[in-house]
Amino acid sequence: MGGADARGSGLVGLARRVAALDGRLEVDSPAGGPTVLTARLPTEVREEG
């Protein structure tokens, strides 16, 4: 694992905020880096009219 620890409170807090919006947080942190965070959030298409 790279520099990010998925068990750390910072990432847990971020994951909770993303989950509150019905999204998900992905953490990819291979040895030697780089660490990549991806937040996937649902979107709503609004029709004008």
11 vs 32, higher pLDDT: 32
Longest dimension (CA), the chain: 52
Confidence class for position 5, pLDDT limits 50, 70, 90:
low
pTM: 0.65
Structure tokens at 7: 């068990």
Is 1 a residue whose pLDDT tops 60? Answer: no
Model pLDDT, residue 12: 84
Model pLDDT, residue 41: 95
